[in-house]
Amino acid sequence: MKKATVFGGGAFGTALAFMLAKNGFAVSLWHPNQAECDAANAAGENLHGLKGAKFPEFGGRRALHFSSDLETCISNAPEVVIFAVPMQRLRKFVVDRRDRMCATLQSAKIAVIACKGIEKGTSKLAYTVLEEAVGDVGLVRARAVVIAGPTFARELAEFKPTSFTVAAHDATLARTAQRLLSTADGQFRGYASTDVIAVEVASAVKNVVAIAAGMVDGMGYGRNARAAVITQGLYEIALVSRTMGGVFGGVLTMAGVGDVMLTASSKLSRNFQVGRELAQGVDLKAAKKNRNAVSEGVPTCEAVVQLGRKLGLTLPLCEAVYSVLKVEKTPQQALAAIRGLDSAPLCDE
């Protein structure tokens, strides 16, 4: 049986493991808390991250196994490796285990970056963080792909039809990842891309857009206002992407429009819910505590604002969300400032 390893036993990492299992892989999930690993293995479901989604079984055998022991997870020389740890922990996770990570990447066919966000302090995207953490750019370029798109963990785990983008700097590698991650029945469908920057920027900034959209919803402003906020967010994603070397039209992908439409319009989105609660007067600490998983949009917002300033860009929506998170403005004041802009973004800029 084909082997795969997922680093990060949260909801999304677990859901990706379900997707791999559907495609014939036996999957080991690394999670730092052994007690939670034991509970998950005993119950046959991820009680701490994706409760109620029973581990799939194929041929009478359970396809998923949790462990906090790294060697247990990688000793089977997995051909697919997925990094699904929180973005702000990715660098330390890899650096602390650099030798074993390098050996694992060398033997794997693909290494999938599923972390979403921008690193605080450095304003760097996950692909670059992995290159620096591994210390071998050539090895990362030969293995690493980025996955993003409208992929709610719960629906992945329920095997509902899902499409996503897989991007690599090399077209052949992107196609290999597309083949390994897609299912023959089309239930999980990957689309190959070589625009790594656009995919990563969209995957990160869409969480900030979702917080803004949640604020609009929480204030009862309606669907018209939410659509306007989403449109502004897509423009800012495209602007950052183009400035960093991506394609301006890269936003027109599953990782761009697809993911933004989902994340910024559904109460199943953690970031959308954080925005709603902020608009309803809940403070940020309490709003984050109410989520049983990381809301990546919160740390990413600061990082993208820092990045925009470094690049000399005007990102009014991201700046507005940041002002709310920093308690400099109320959601009402921040969104009013956006509505007061003298000009709207031009599609041909």
Instruction: List residues forming the annotated binding site for NAD(+).
Output: 8-13, 153, 270
CB contact at 8 A, 139 and 105: yes
Using only the alpha carbons of the chain, give its radius of gyration. 20
User: How many Å apart are CA 194 and CA 60, to the nearest integer?
Assistant: 39
Per the structure block, which two tokens stand in for 129? 């963080």
**Alpha-carbon dihedral of residues 299, 305, 308, 310, nearest 10 degrees?**
-90
Q: Which amino acid, one-letter code, is at 133?
A: A
Q: What is the rounded CA–CA span in Å between residue 291 and residue 210?
A: 15
Q: Does residue 54 sit in helix, strand or coil?
A: strand
Which residues are the active-site residues?
206
Give dist(CA 349, CA 345) in Å, integer.
8
Cα–Cα distance between 215 and 323 in angstroms, integer?
A: 13
- Burial category of 205 from C-beta neighbours within 10 Å (exposed 0-12, middle 13-18, buried 19 and up): buried
Positions at the binding site for substrate: 116, 270-271
Torsion of CA 28, 31, 35, 36, to 10 degrees: -90
Q: Where are the alpha helices (DSSP H) in the chain?
A: 11-22, 34-43, 70-74, 90-95, 98-107, 126-134, 137-143, 153-157, 171-181, 196-218, 223-244, 259-263, 270-279, 284-289, 297-311, 316-325, 331-339
